């Protein structure tokens, strides 16, 4: 009963968004209200605490909102300055084949941004770039989200792995394990199964794209591009795995994708494995109404500058992200220490909020680079004002969804302190899943991780919520902990395809506000396929009785 009630707000969210095609800004406030009711009546949490947790969620949502705002501002600035038109021409110069463009921008460039920044940034940047090239906005959103999965376990310079390790110290001490050894082994076993899934992912994304948005309504055009898609997958996955095994979790996505990006751009320019017949979407007049933007995302201006000048803001963003995210450069700690702090919110002990305003990608580099671009691209004041005005208008719907969604998660996360003597809603959900599954638990372990990412919008948060629980459950059932934790790490990345926060973010940047349910429903297919691949690989390892790190 406890778990059923805890699941109810999530079930309502999924049914309304995926079943009835409601937008997130309509579904999430309703689900939040339901969570409030359950918290007050059944968990017997006092109204002050529920209000505090909700307000804390609104504050936490500001972190994500600032990232979205910065990404949209950069995009609008480049559109109005004419840089986006030049960038589009440059990509057209590499190839006009939409399949290859999707792989270069959505898969590889998105992975690079994920490796540096994470937290919803890659799809929010790659989606608009694809729209600028002529992709239907809905297609751009779906493709960008599908591809933003395999780099996620090592996103933001390894943050999800470090998040998991931050909750596992006590567990590891209890079994006498070395945290450093465990972290390296976990990194290895997250990376190796992902080599298979990540190699297949570009082809999987193309199959969804051509089936839904192609004039043929078939996967055949995707299969024709299979050689290049698989080559691109290997170009990323081989360095990704090698770096993970040798160096640890910080650099597999960041450096692996950078190497892969250079390889596939050269290959595309040379026509290596590129299909002879160029594939394109049907003419815009044939697009379904749902494919279009329903908010004003602006028009791409006139191409009036060099490719280097046009790309310079994105290049500057990439450089700043690398320099500020890799600890060895010395800036990460300084920027992360710049905080706006609110302690003991509403008088509740340890309910502390810290806005790391200088470390958020939305502030530095996005907003800072946007201000630089206003000057560097010699924009007129009216053009600058237009970019900012458009950005504020585009972000309204995303704000409502994010405030409600993160408030909902915070109620569920903090509900362990209650008058009914119950575990938190999240723990009740996870424990019930484990008790029902028994020794079939490995089937459910990735699903718990996916659920955590779906709810929280972050692989890091999913790992923080469930890594310790997964470890304890594996120990109780006598299942190798390292393999269950690998399922958690990979599953949290898979959840990024469908997680509400990321879907809202990319929908806002491409102008598809209200299409979130359709996107989640579509992306549930590749996310389930990804889940099956990982389950087959790690399940086979478990079936063979292999334990890479006996504890």
User: What is the per-residue DSSP string for 56-104?
Assistant: HHHHHHHHHHHHHHHHHHHHHHHHHHTHHHHHHHHHHHH---HHHHIII
Please report the pLDDT score of residue 341 as a whole number: 92
CA dihedral 275, 281, 282, 286 (to 10 degrees): 170
Q: Please state the three-class secondary structure of 209-256 as a single string.
A: HHHHHCCCCCCHHHHHCHHHHHHHHHHHHHHHHHHHHHHCCCCHHHHH
Please report the pLDDT score of residue 149 as a whole number: 95
Please report the pLDDT score of residue 402 as a whole number: 83
Angle at 413 between CA 410 and CA 419, to 5 degrees: 105
User: Rounded distance, CA 541 to CA 152, Å?
Assistant: 23
Q: Write the CB contacts of 484 (distance below 8 Å, at least 6 apart in sequence).
A: 441, 442, 445, 470, 471, 473, 474
Residue range(s) defining the domain that contains residue 208: 1-293+307-544
Whole-structure pTM value = 0.80
Domain assignment present for residue 301? The answer is: no
Domain assignment present for residue 192? The answer is: yes
Domain assignment present for residue 551? The answer is: no
Domain assignment present for residue 302? The answer is: no
SS3 313: helix
Please report the pLDDT score of residue 20 as a whole number: 83
Domain assignment present for residue 340? The answer is: yes
Domain assignment present for residue 248? The answer is: yes
Domain assignment present for residue 12? The answer is: yes
Instruction: List the structure tokens of 416.
Output: 């362990």
Question: pLDDT tens digit string along 384-439?
Answer: 999 999 889 888 877 888 888 888 888 988 898 899 999 888 788 878 877 888 88
Instruction: List the structure tokens of 529.
Output: 């396929």
Question: pLDDT tens digit string along 160-201?
Answer: 998 898 888 778 987 889 998 999 999 999 999 999 999 999
User: Rounded distance, CA 349 to CA 184, Å?
Assistant: 35
Instruction: List the structure tokens of 455.
Output: 């709810």
Contact 256, 237 (CB under 8 A): yes
Please report the pLDDT score of residue 135 as a whole number: 95
Q: Please state the three-class secondary structure of 487-514 as a single string.
A: HHHHHHHHHHHCCHHHHHHHHHHHCCCC
Please report the pLDDT score of residue 296 as a whole number: 61
Q: How far is CA 360 from the centre of its chain?
A: 15
Residues of the chain with pLDDT under 70: 119, 295-303
Number of domains in the chain: 1
Domain assignment present for residue 299? The answer is: no
């Amino acid at each position: 009963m406890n778990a059923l009630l805890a699941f109810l707000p999530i079930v309502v969210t999924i049914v309304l968004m995926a079943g009835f095609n409601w937008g997130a800004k309509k579904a999430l406030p309703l689900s939040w209200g339901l969570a409030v009711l359950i918290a007050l009546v059944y968990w017997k949490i006092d109204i002050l605490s529920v209000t505090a947790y909700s307000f804390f969620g609104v504050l936490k949502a500001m972190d994500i909102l600032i990232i979205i705002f910065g990404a949209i501002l950069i995009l609008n600035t480049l559109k109005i300055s004419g840089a986006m038109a030049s960038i589009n021409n440059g990509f057209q110069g590499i190839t006009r084949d939409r399949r290859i463009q999707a792989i270069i921008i959505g898969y590889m460039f998105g992975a690079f941004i994920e490796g540096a920044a994470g937290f919803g940034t890659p799809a929010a940047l790659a989606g608009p770039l694809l729209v600028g090239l002529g992709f239907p906005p809905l297609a751009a959103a779906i493709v960008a989200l599908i591809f933003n999965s395999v780099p996620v376990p090592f996103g933001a310079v390894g943050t999800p792995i470090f998040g998991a390790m931050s909750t596992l110290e006590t567990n590891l001490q209890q079994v006498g394990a070395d945290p450093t050894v465990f972290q390296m082994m976990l990194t290895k076993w997250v990376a190796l199964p992902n080599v298979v899934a990540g190699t297949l992912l570009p082809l999987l994304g193309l199959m969804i794209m051509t089936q839904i948005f192609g004039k043929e309504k078939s996967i055949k055009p995707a299969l024709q591009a299979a050689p290049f898609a698989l080559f691109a997958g290997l170009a990323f996955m081989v360095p990704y795995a090698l770096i993970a095994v040798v160096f640890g979790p910080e650099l597999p996505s960041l450096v692996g994708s950078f190497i892969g990006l250079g390889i596939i751009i050269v290959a595309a320019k040379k026509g290596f494995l590129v299909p002879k017949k160029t594939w394109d979407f049907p003419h815009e007049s044939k697009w379904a109404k749902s494919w279009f933007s329903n908010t004003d995302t602006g028009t791409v201006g006139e191409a009036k500058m060099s490719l280097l000048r046009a790309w310079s803001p994105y290049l500057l963003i990439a450089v700043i992200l690398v320099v500020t995210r890799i600890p060895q450069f010395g800036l990460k700690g300084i920027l992360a220490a710049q905080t706006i702090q609110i302690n003991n919110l509403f008088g509740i002990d340890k309910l502390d909020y810290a806005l790391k305003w200088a470390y958020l990608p939305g502030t530095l580099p996005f907003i800072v680079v946007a201000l630089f671009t206003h000057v560097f691209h010699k924009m007129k004041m009216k053009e600058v004002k237009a970019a900012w005005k458009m950005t504020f208008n585009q972000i309204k719907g995303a704000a409502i969804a994010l405030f409600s969604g993160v408030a909902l998660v915070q109620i569920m996360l903090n509900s362990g302190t209650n008058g009914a003597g119950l575990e938190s809603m999240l723990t009740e959900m996870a424990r019930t899943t484990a008790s029902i599954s028994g020794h079939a638990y490995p089937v459910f372990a990735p699903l718990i991780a996916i659920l955590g990412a779906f709810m929280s919008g972050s692989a890091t948060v999913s790992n923080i919520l469930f890594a310790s629980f997964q470890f304890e459950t594996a120990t109780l059932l006598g299942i190798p902990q390292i393999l269950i934790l690998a399922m958690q790490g990979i599953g949290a990345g898979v959840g990024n395809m469908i997680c509400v926060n990321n879907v809202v973010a990319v929908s806002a940047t491409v102008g598809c506000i209200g299409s979130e349910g359709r996107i989640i429903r579509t992306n549930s297919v590749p996310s389930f396929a990804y889940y099956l691949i990982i389950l087959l690989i790690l399940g086979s390892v478990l079936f063979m009785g292999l334990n890479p790190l006996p504890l």
